C-alpha cells in the first residue's frame, strides 16, 4: 500500500488530500475547518482530516507532494532579475515563501508529534494544475492548459498529455498574466477581497462591452498566441506588493498603477454605488479576457490537433468563458475538475508523485464528495447540546426513517416556496456546493434571488444562483448543452424556458448549471426528481450553504447558520428542523400543496 499526501500550502485556498494506491480517499480546503475564507498557510486541520479518513499517522505516510517547486523556471527567474533588477523587497518576499515551504516538514512533525519518514516531492505549480485535471479526466490523451495569476514564476502553461505523461511545451512567465489583468480590474472596480473575481464575472452580465478598446490597451498580443501585459498599467513587477500568505486570509495590495486611473478614472470605493459605467467596464474586461483565452485555445487545437481539453488554474473558474469554448473553438470535449484553482494543486501534486513512482493513473473524478461526513449519532448529539437554543428559536425536530419519505416531504416544502438548508453525506471538494452543503429553493419564484441575497446570503444583489438540473433533462432546457457536474460552465437557457425559472436565469439569459446524475448523488437526484414530479421543473435553485463565510462543514455550523438567518427548514441527513411560527404548518403533511 502506498500512501501519498498532496498539499497546496502557503498559498490562497490552502488544502490537503490523501491517496491510497493512486485513489483519492479524502480532500478538503483548510478554510472549511478554521472558517477563514481562502485561508493561506500550512493546512494542518485538512491534513489531520485526511489522515483520519484513512486511519493513518504521519509516520505511515510514504510520500508528501507539494504543488510548488522553488527550483522551477530558474533560468527565466535569473534572466528577468539580471535584466530588470526588481525591488529588493520583491526578492525578499519570494525567499520568505520559499523558506516556509522548506521548513514545513519540521512543522508537521511538531504538530502531529510524529515523524514523516517518507519522500518529499516538489511539483511545478502549473504541472500540478494540469495533473489535477488530466490524471482524473476521462481522456487517454488531451491538450492541457493552466492559467492563473502566478505560480513558480509562470502564469500560463500548455502542452500535451497522453496516458501517464504530461508534457508542458510552453509558458507565459512573470510579469505577464491574464489572472493579474483580471484581478487588477476587479480591484479597480472596488472588489478588494481575494477571490472577488467571481463577483465581477457575475456583474459583467449587467453591462455592455463598449470599452473593449480601452481595456485592450492593457494587453499586447504576441506570436504563437502568447500575450504580454502593458506594464505601464501595473506595478506588481516593480514594487513590493503586500501579499499575505501565512496563517490568514490572503490579502493583495492594488496591482494597478496611476496610468490605469488616468485611463479609466478614479477607482470605485467600496461604499460607492455601482454605476452603468462600472457594469460596462466589467463586461468589457470579461470580453477582452475571453478574446485572449479563445486565441490561446484556437492556437492549441491547431497545434496538437486533439479535440480534448483539460483545463485548470484559477482562471479555469471563469465559468462564463468556459461555457463558450464549444462555440468559439473546435474543442469538443472539455474536462475541468471541481477544484480547478489552487486548492486543486493538492490533488495534482499527489497524483504527479504517484505517476513519478512508475505507477499508472487508475482513477477518474466523477464526483466531488471527498470531505467530512457525519452520522446520525453525531447529529443527534449536536441537536441535544443545542436543544435549548432550538426551542428558543421556536423550532421543532422531526426524523424520517426512509430517504423516499424525506425527499418527498422536503420537495413539497420547496415547491411551497420555503428555503431549505440541505446537509448530507461528504462535504464537496472545491468552491461549489453541489448538493451536499447547499441552500435549496424553488427556481420558479421570481423574487427568490433578491430574498436570498438580501436576507440569507447577505451579499450583492447582482449575484446569480445556480440551477441543479437532472442530467437527462439538460438538452430540454439549455442551448448547446454540455454536462457540467462540477458547476464550472455557464450556458444559455432556452428562450421558451426562461420565464419558467426566473430565480436561476441570470440577466443575460444564462445559468451556471450543475448536472446531477443518479449514479453520483442519488439522494440529491431523488430530491430533484420528486420536485419535478410535483412541478414539472427538473431542477432546483442551488447555492452554497453559508452566510458570508466558508461553506459549512459540520452539523454545528449548519445549525448555527440556519438559526441566525431566515431559512425555513434545515435538513441534517434524515432529520428535519423547522420553524413552527411560519405560515405553513410544516409538520402536517396534509397542509403541503
Rounded CA gap, 312 and 343, in Å? 11
pLDDT at 593: 32
- Three-state secondary structure along 79-130? HHHHHHCCCHHHHHHHHHHHHHHHHHHHHHHHHHCCCCCCEEEECCHHHHHH
pLDDT at 78: 80
- Concatenating the DSSP letter of every residue in 444-476 gives T-TTHHHHIIIIIS---TT---EEEEEGGGHHH
Please state the rounded mean pLDDT for residues 511-531. Answer: 98
Give just the sign of the alpha carbon dihedral 484, 487, 490, 493: positive
Instruction: Using the predicted structure, report yes or no on whether residue 98 has a pLDDT greater than 80.
Output: no
What does the mean pLDDT of the chain come to?
93
Q: How far from 138 is each of 134, 315, 344, 361, 441, CA to CA, in Å?
A: 8, 22, 17, 11, 32
Q: What is the dihedral of CA 176, 80, 195, 181, to 10 degrees?
A: -20
Q: Which three cell numbers stand for residue 249?
A: 486570509
Give just the sign of the alpha carbon dihedral 379, 384, 390, 394: positive
Task: Read off the pLDDT band of 307 (50, 70, 90).
Answer: very high
Q: How far from 404 is each of 30, 267, 592, CA to CA, in Å?
A: 34, 53, 16
Q: Which three cell numbers stand for residue 147?
A: 492559467
Rounded CA gap, 575 and 562, in Å? 14
Omega prior to 175 cis, within 30 of 0: yes
Q: What is the pTM of this model?
A: 0.94
Please state the rounded mean pLDDT for residues 571-589. Answer: 73
pLDDT at 511: 97
Rounded CA gap, 482 and 459, in Å? 29
Q: Range(s) for CATH 3.30.420.40 in the chain?
A: 3-131+346-356, 135-337
Rounded CA gap, 127 and 152, in Å? 10
Instruction: Using the predicted structure, report yes or no on whether residue 590 has a pLDDT greater than 50.
Output: no
Query: How do residues 407-418 score in pLDDT, each as one tens digit?
Result: 999 999 999 999
Helical packing angle, 403-415 and 522-535, nearest 10°: 50
Which neighbouring-strand residues pair with 68?
none
Q: What is the dihedral of CA 386, 387, 392, 396, to 10 degrees?
A: 120
Please state the rounded mean pLDDT for residues 526-550. Answer: 97
CATH of domain 376-591: 3.90.870.20
Q: Range(s) for CATH 3.90.870.20 in the chain?
A: 376-591
- Give the strands of the sheet with 15-20, arranged side by side: 23-29, 15-20, 3-8, 63-66, 119-122
How many helices (H) and strands (E) the chain has is answered by 21, 21
Rounded CA gap, 411 and 442, in Å? 9
Rounded CA gap, 174 and 156, in Å? 10
Among 288, 46, 20, 11, which Cα is nearest to 129's?
11
Percentage of the chain modeled with pLDDT above 90: 86
Q: What is the dihedral of CA 140, 130, 427, 492, to 10 degrees?
A: -80
Give just the sign of the alpha carbon dihedral 582, 547, 182, 46: negative
Report the CATH superfamily, name and number, of domain 135-337.
ATPase, nucleotide binding domain (3.30.420.40)
Rounded CA gap, 234 and 258, in Å? 8
Rounded CA gap, 174 and 300, in Å? 21
Query: How do residues 65-78 score in pLDDT, each as one tens digit?
Result: 999 998 888 888 88
Instruction: Using the predicted structure, report yes or no on whether residue 8 has a pLDDT greater than 90.
Output: yes
Q: Which three cell numbers stand for residue 91?
A: 526578492
Q: Can you tell me whether residue 548 is helix, strand or coil?
A: coil
Is CATH 3.30.420.40 the right assignment for the domain spanning 3-131+346-356?
Answer: yes
Q: Which three cell numbers stand for residue 17?
A: 488530500
pLDDT at 96: 53
Find out whether 543 and 438 touch, Cβ atoms under 8 Å.
Answer: yes
pLDDT at 100: 56
Instruction: Using the predicted structure, report yes or no on whether residue 339 has a pLDDT greater than 80.
Output: yes
Rounded CA gap, 35 and 39, in Å? 8
585 versus 328: the higher-pLDDT residue is: 328
Rounded CA gap, 35 and 15, in Å? 13
Task: Please state whether beta strands 63-66 and 3-8 pair in parallel, antiparallel, or not at all (unpaired).
Answer: parallel
Instruction: Using the predicted structure, report yes or no on whether residue 587 has a pLDDT greater than 50.
Output: no
443 versus 248: the higher-pLDDT residue is: 443
pLDDT at 333: 97
Find out whether 64 and 109 touch, Cβ atoms under 8 Å.
Answer: no
Which neighbouring-strand residues pair with 27?
17
Find out whether 206 and 215 touch, Cβ atoms under 8 Å.
Answer: no
pLDDT at 77: 81
Neighbours of 195 (CB within 10 A): 19
Q: Find the range with the poorest average confidence among 95-99, 191-195, 244-248.
A: 95-99
Looking at the chain, how many residues does it have? Answer: 593
Query: How do residues 364-403 score in pLDDT, each as one tens digit?
Result: 999 999 999 999 999 999 999 999 999 999 999 999 999 9
pLDDT at 585: 44
- Three-state secondary structure along 2-48? CEEEEEECCCCCCEEEEEECCEEEEEEECHHHHCCCCCECCCHHHHH
pLDDT at 376: 96
Q: Can you tell me whether residue 167 is helix, strand or coil?
A: strand
Find out whether 233 and 257 touch, Cβ atoms under 8 Å.
Answer: yes
Identify the DSSP state of 553.
-
Rounded CA gap, 421 and 430, in Å? 19
Task: Please state whether beta strands 510-516 and 539-544 pair in parallel, antiparallel, or not at all (unpaired).
Answer: unpaired
Query: How do residues 116-171 score in pLDDT, each as one tens digit?
Result: 999 999 999 999 999 999 999 999 999 999 999 999 999 999 999 999 999 999 99
pLDDT at 259: 98
Amino acid at each position: 500500500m502506498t500512501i501519498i499526501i498532496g498539499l497546496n500550502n502557503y498559498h490562497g485556498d490552502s488544502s490537503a488530500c490523501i491517496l491510497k494506491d493512486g485513489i483519492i480517499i479524502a480532500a478538503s480546503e483548510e478554510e472549511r475547518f478554521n472558517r477563514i475564507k481562502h485561508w493561506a498557510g500550512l493546512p494542518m486541520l485538512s491534513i489531520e482530516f485526511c489522515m483520519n479518513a484513512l486511519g493513518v499517522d504521519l509516520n505511515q505516510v510514504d510520500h508528501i507532494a507539494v504543488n510548488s517547486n522553488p527550483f522551477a523556471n530558474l533560468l527565466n527567474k535569473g534572466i528577468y532579475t539580471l535584466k530588470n533588477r526588481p525591488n529588493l523587497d520583491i526578492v525578499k518576499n519570494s525567499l520568505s515563501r520559499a523558506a516556509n515551504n522548506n521548513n514545513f516538514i519540521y512543522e508537521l512533525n511538531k504538530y502531529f508529534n510524529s515523524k514523516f519518514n517518507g519522500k518529499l516531492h516538489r511539483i511545478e505549480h502549473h504541472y500540478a494544475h494540469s495533473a489535477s485535471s488530466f490524471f482524473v479526466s476521462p481522456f487517454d490523451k488531451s491538450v492541457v492548459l493552466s492559467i492563473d495569476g502566478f505560480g513558480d514564476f509562470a502564469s500560463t502553461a500548455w502542452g500535451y498529455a497522453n496516458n501517464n505523461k504530461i508534457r508542458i511545451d510552453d509558458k507565459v512567465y512573470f510579469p505577464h498574466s491574464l489572472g493579474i489583468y483580471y484581478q487588477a480590474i476587479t480591484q479597480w472596480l472596488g472588489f478588494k477581497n481575494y477571490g472577488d473575481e467571481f463577483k465581477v464575472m457575475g456583474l459583467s452580465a449587467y453591462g455592455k462591452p463598449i470599452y473593449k478598446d480601452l481595456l485592450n490597451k492593457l494587453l499586447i498580443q504576441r506570436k504563437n498566441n502568447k500575450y504580454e501585459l502593458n506594464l505601464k498599467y501595473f506595478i506588481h513587477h516593480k514594487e513590493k506588493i503586500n501579499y499575505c500568505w501565512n496563517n490568514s486570509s490572503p490579502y493583495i495590495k492594488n496591482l494597478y498603477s496611476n496610468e490605469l486611473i488616468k485611463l479609466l478614472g478614479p477607482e470605485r470605493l467600496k461604499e460607492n454605488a455601482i454605476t452603468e459605467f462600472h457594469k460596462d467596464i466589467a463586461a468589457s474586461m470579461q470580453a477582452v479576457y475571453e478574446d485572449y483565452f479563445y486565441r490561446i485555445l484556437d492556437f492549441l487545437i491547431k497545434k496538437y490537433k486533439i479535440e480534448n481539453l483539460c483545463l485548470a488554474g484559477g482562471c479555469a473558474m471563469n465559468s462564463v468563458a468556459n461555457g463558450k469554448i464549444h462555440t468559439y473553438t473546435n474543442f469538443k470535449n472539455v474536462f475541468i475538475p471541481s477544484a480547478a484553482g489552487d486548492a486543486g494543486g493538492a490533488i495534482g501534486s499527489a497524483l504527479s508523485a504517484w505517476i513519478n513512482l512508475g505507477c499508472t493513473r487508475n482513477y477518474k473524478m466523477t464526483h466531488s464528495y471527498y470531505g467530512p461526513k457525519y452520522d446520525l449519532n453525531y447529529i443527534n448529539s449536536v441537536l441535544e447540546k443545542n436543544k435549548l437554543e432550538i426551542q428558543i428559536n421556536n423550532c421543532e425536530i422531526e426524523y424520517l426513517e426512509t430517504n423516499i419519505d424525506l425527499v418527498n416531504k422536503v420537495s413539497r416544502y420547496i415547491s411551497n416556496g420555503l428555503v431549505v438548508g440541505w446537509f448530507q453525506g461528504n462535504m464537496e471538494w472545491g468552491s461549489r456546493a453541489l448538493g451536499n452543503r447547499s441552500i435549496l429553493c424553488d427556481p420558479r419564484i421570481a423574487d427568490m434571488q433578491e430574498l436570498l441575497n438580501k436576507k440569507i446570503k447577505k451579499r450583492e444583489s447582482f449575484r446569480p444562483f445556480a440551477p441543479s438540473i437532472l442530467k437527462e433533462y439538460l438538452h430540454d432546457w439549455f442551448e448547446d448543452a454540455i454536462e457540467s457536474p462540477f458547476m464550472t460552465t455557464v450556458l444559455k437557457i432556452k428562450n421558451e424556458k426562461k420565464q419558467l425559472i426566473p430565480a436561476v436565469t441570470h440577466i443575460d439569459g444564462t445559468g451556471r448549471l450543475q448536472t446531477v446524475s443518479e449514479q453520483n448523488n442519488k439522494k440529491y437526484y431523488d430530491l430533484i426528481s420528486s420536485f419535478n414530479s410535483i412541478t414539472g421543473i427538473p431542477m432546483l435553485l442551488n447555492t452554497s450553504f453559508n452566510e458570508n463565510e466558508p461553506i459549512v462543514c459540520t452539523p454545528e455550523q449548519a445549525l448555527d447558520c440556519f438559526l441566525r438567518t431566515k431559512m425555513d427548514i434545515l435538513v441534517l441527513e434524515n432529520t428535519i428542523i423547522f420553524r413552527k411560527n411560519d405560515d405553513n404548518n410544516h409538520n402536517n403533511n396534509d397542509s403541503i400543496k
